[in-house]
Structure 1
Amino acid sequence: MRFSAIPGHTGIKQTLLSAVQRNHVAHAQLFVGPEGSATLPLALAYLTYLNCENPSGIDSCGECPSCVKMDKYIHPDLHFVMPVSSTKQVTGKDVVSQSFLKEWREFLVESPYGSVEDWAFAYGGENKQVNISREESRQIIRNLSLKAFEGRYKAMLIWLPEYMHPSAANGILKILEEPPERTVFILVTQDTEKLLTTILSRTQKVQVPGFSDEEVAQILETEYEATDTQARQVAHLAEGNLSAARKLLSQVEDDSHALFRDWMRLCYVWDFTKLVTWSDDYQKMSKASQRTVLQYGINLLRESLMSSAGVEDLIRLFGEEVEFVKNFGKVLDADKIAGMYEVLNRMLYYLERNASPKIQMMNLSMKLARILRG
Structure 2
Amino acid sequence: MQFKEIIGQEDIKKQLIQTVVENRVSHAQLFLSPEGSGALPLAIAYAQYLNCQNKSPTDSCGECSSCRKYERYIHPDLHFSYPFFASAAVKIAVDVLEEWRSLLLEDPYFNLDIWRSKLSADNKQANINIAECHDIIKKLSYKAFEADTKVLIMWLPEFLDREGNALLKIIEEPPANTLFILVAQNQEQILSTILSRTQIVKIPKLPDTEIEAYLINKAALSENQATEYSFLADGNLIEAKAMLNDTPNNNASYFAEWLRMGFGNKVPAMIAFTDTAASWGRENQKNFLKYGINFLRECSLLLSGADDLVKLPHQTLEVAIKLSTHVLNLGMVEALINELEKAHYHIERNANPKILFLDVSLQLVKIIKFKTFPKGTQHIYN
Q: State the TM-score, normalizing by the size of structure 1.
A: 0.77
Q: 1:140 aligns with which of 120, 136, 139?
A: 136
| CA–CA distance in structure 1, aligned partners of residues 234 and 278 of structure 2 | 34
Partner of 2:267: 270
* Structure 1 residue 351: Cα displacement: 3.7
Q: 2:192 aligns with which of 189, 192, 197?
A: 197
How many angstroms apart in 1 are the aligned matches of 2:255 and 2:117?
Answer: 24
Q: Which residue pairs with 1:59 in the alignment?
A: 59
Match of 1:169 in 2: 164
Correspondence list, 1:143-292, <5 A: 143-165=139-161, 167-212=162-207, 215-227=210-222, 241-243=236-238, 246=241, 253-261=248-256, 263-264=258-259, 268-271=265-268, 273-274=271-272, 277-278=275-276, 280-282=278-280, 285=281, 287-292=282-287
Q: Residues 149-173 of structure 1: CA distance to partner in whole angstroms, max 9, x if unpaired? A: 44333321112323332x2421221
1:234-259 deviation per Cα after TM superposition (whole angstroms, max 9, x unaligned): 66776655456556888995432244
Query: Equivalent residue for 1:74?
Result: 74
> Using a 3 Å threshold, how does the CA distance of structure 1 residues 93 and 327 change in structure 2: closer, same or farther?
farther
**1:367 and 2:363 aligned:** yes
Please state whether the residue corresponding to 2:201 is helix, strand or coil. Answer: strand
Which residue is 2:305 aligned to? 310
8 Å Cα contact 1:251-1:292 kept in structure 2: no
1:339 Cα offset (Å): 0.8
Q: May I ask how many residue pairs the two structures share in their alignment?
A: 365
Secondary structure in 1 matching 2:37: coil
Which residue of 2 is the match for residue 16 of structure 1?
Answer: 16
Task: Tell me if structure 2 keeps the 8 A contact 1:210–1:240.
Answer: yes
Cα distance in 2, alignment partners of residues 26 and 301 from structure 1: 43
Conserved in 2, the CA contact under 8 Å of 1:107 and 1:119?
Answer: yes
Distance in 1, matches of 2:358 and 2:166, equals: 48
Q: For 1:316, what is the secondary structure of its paired residue?
A: coil
Q: Partners in 2 of 1:288 and 1:72 — Cα distance?
A: 33
Q: Provide structure 2 residue ranges, at least 5 long, that are not aligned to the other structure.
A: 371-382
* CA deviation string 1:272-320 (max 9, x = no partner): 75355245414xx1x4333212211111111122223333333222254
TM-score, normalization: structure 2?
A: 0.76
Matching residue's letter, 1:274: A
Say if 2:48 is the partner of 1:48.
yes
Q: Using the alignment, how far apart are the partners of 1:101 and 1:255 within structure 2?
A: 41
Which residue is equivalent to 2:378? Answer: none
Match of 1:172, SS state, is helix
* 5+ residue gaps, structure 1: none
What is the alpha-carbon root mean square deviation over aligned residues?
Answer: 3.9
Indicate yes or no: 2:346 matched with 1:347: no
Distance (Å, rounded) in 2 between the aligned partners of 1:127 and 1:269: 45
Letter aligned with residue 180 of structure 2: F
C-alpha contact (below 8 Å) 1:62/1:68 kept by paired residues: yes
Indicate the structure with greater helix content. 1
Higher mean C-alpha displacement, 120-129 vs 224-233: 120-129
Alpha-carbon separation, structure 1, partners of 2:202 and 2:157: 16
Name 2:30's counterpart in structure 1: 30
The DSSP-based 3-state class of the residue aligned with 1:202 is: coil
Q: Is contact 1:3–1:42 with CA below 8 Å preserved after alignment?
A: yes
Bigger shift: residues 258-267 or 1-10 = 258-267
What pairs with 1:112-123 in structure 2 (closer than 5 Å)? 112-116=108-112
Q: How far apart are the structure 1 equivalents of 2:11 and 2:256?
A: 44
Contact between 1:161 and 1:188, CA under 8 Å: does it hold in 2? yes
Query: Secondary structure of 2:152's match?
Result: strand
Greater shift in the superposed pair: 232-241 or 297-306: 232-241
Q: Which digits, 9 at most, give the CA deviation of each residue in 1:152-200, with x for residues without a partner?
A: 33321112323332x2421221222233343321112233343333213
| Counterpart amino acid of residue 47 in structure 2 | L
> Following the alignment from structure 1 to structure 2, what is the Cα–Cα distance between the partners of residues 275 and 128?
40
TM-superposed CA distance for 1:368, in Å, is: 3.2
Distance 1:7 1:279 in 2: 34
Specify the code of the residue in structure 1 equivalent to 2:75.
Answer: H
Distance 2:100 2:14 in 1: 28
2:279 aligned counterpart, secondary structure: helix
* Cα separation, 2, equivalents of 1:208 and 1:154: 23
User: What one-letter code is carried by the residue in structure 1 that aligns with 2:31?
Assistant: F
Note the C-alpha offset of 1:31. 1.9
Larger Rg: 2
Gap change, CA 1:141 and 1:248, over 3 Å in 2? same
Structure 1 residue 2, shift from structure 2 partner: 0.9
> 1:275/1:14 Cα in 2 relative to 1: closer, same or farther (>3 Å)?
closer
- For residues 10 and 323 of structure 1, what CA distance do their matches in structure 2 show? 32
Distance 1:185 1:250, change over 3 A: same
Structure 2 match to 1:301: 296
